[in-house]
Amino acid sequence: MGTETLHTPSPLPLERLLIPTELDGRHGSNRAGPGTVRQLAANNDLQAIQTWLSEFQDSPQTLRHYRKEAERLLLWALLERHKPLSSLTREDCVSYEQFLADPQPRTRWCGPRAPRFSAAWRPFLGPLTAASRRTALLVINSLLSYLVKAGYLAGNPLALIKRRARGNDASLSLGVERFLERDQWQAMWDTAEDLPRETERQQRTYQRLRFLLAMLYLLGPRVSEIATHTMGSFVEIRGRWWWVVTGKGQKTARVPVNQDMLQALQEYRRFRGLRPLPQPGESAPLIPNLRESGGITDNMIYRIIKDLVHQAATRLEVTDSHQADKLRRASTHWLRHTSITHQADAGIDLNYLRRNARHSKLDTTGHYLHAEDERWHEAMEQHRLKK
């Protein structure tokens, strides 16, 4: 896209862009400083985006989706903000979120489906729904976070606004109202930590609740999955630990067990007199009854969490009655939403989020490249039990 093209009403796909030097990002105001270790060979924004997209070559559908969102943002920056992507600010990100709800001027940005080489091609079919806007922001957050980690950008301007609202207005909360804010989750954790431990029964109650919270927060399971699975569902594959779970629709998937989760597992197993790490096919229940004579039902797990919720809400009431009121409504399934939401806040890639939450169908081959498994597993280390 030549200099004159920037002032025409017709955006062009990434592969046809020719951006003038003053807008290509090599001198972007948000470029990382000279003391930063660069891990990309990219010299401009388009090259940086292409490098990020190359990470998804093995997932064509994800690649197309991510390209679409990166393309839209770059074109908007050039045509509407008249600046490179690497100069976007927090205020620009706020404006872009509003733009997604109503791309204007409509003749420039919206049109019918058309091949990418066609003159009729446009980045949008029309305004994005609230759900599509949230997904777009998650993808963009993933892009910007990647470029920061790679030493290309100094910071992620979108990260400054993703917690600007609470509750159901949070832009990157995946559109779920039933999740806990950080202070609410911390109140639950602190309440569990303050439980009495003087008698053997109290110790068992404390240790069991601590492990249950770790599973709910770090693995994002459905309660029925905890009740029906055994210690044998934790497996080691190529030196890394995973939780292999059969869930909704009888679909089997795996979730990375990061270091916090692995430590919680080992501590609880030692307390129960088990070997630190599970053995293949081990039948011991994940959450036993206090007599250690068997597992507990999902209804009992629900009651345990609701009791903790009420105690934590009473604790939080002293400093924030509004958040305490919301916390009182929480249930076990809120913790699944909380896990997914906080993973998004931690900057975990949307592709990994989808797989952690097990919301979409597993790859038809059922096999993943080992290199991607390692990146996925390492990404989960950003989601910690305690800060």
According to DSSP, the residues that pair with 244 across neighbouring strands are 254
Structure confidence at residue 230 (pLDDT): 97
pLDDT at 371 over 70: no
Q: Dump pLDDT digits (tens) for 336-366.
A: 888 888 887 777 777 787 788 887 533 322 2
Residue pointed to by tokens 């989960």: 380
Q: Dump pLDDT digits (tens) for 258-287.
A: 999 999 999 999 999 999 999 999 999 999
What percent of the chain shows pLDDT beyond 90? 64
Q: What is the side-by-side strand order in the sheet with 240-246?
A: 234-237, 240-246, 252-256
Q: What is the pTM of this model?
A: 0.59
User: What CATH superfamily classification does 182-380 receive?
Assistant: Intergrase catalytic core (1.10.443.10)
pLDDT at 72 over 60: yes
CA triplet 151, 155, 159: central angle to 5 degrees? 135
Cis, peptide link before residue 127, omega less than 30° from 0:
no
| pLDDT, mean over the chain | 86
State the average pLDDT over residues 316-323: 86
CA distances from 366 to 358, 363, 369 (A): 13, 5, 10
Structure confidence at residue 369 (pLDDT): 31
Least trusted range by pLDDT, from 101-105, 168-172, 223-227, 315-319: 168-172
Domain ranges of the chain: 3-161, 182-380
A 10 A CB-CB count for 202 gives 12
- Region class of 196: left (phi > 0), else alpha (psi between -120 and 50), else beta: beta
Tell me the CA end-to-end span of the chain in Å, nearest whole number: 46
Both tokens assigned to 342: 């906080």
With beta carbons less than 8 A apart as the criterion, state whether 151 and 47 touch.
Answer: no
With beta carbons less than 8 A apart as the criterion, state whether 295 and 240 touch.
Answer: no
pLDDT at 6 over 60: no
Q: Which among 77-81, 172-176, 180-184, 330-334 has the top mean pLDDT?
A: 77-81
State the average pLDDT over residues 316-339: 88
* 3-class DSSP state of 145: helix
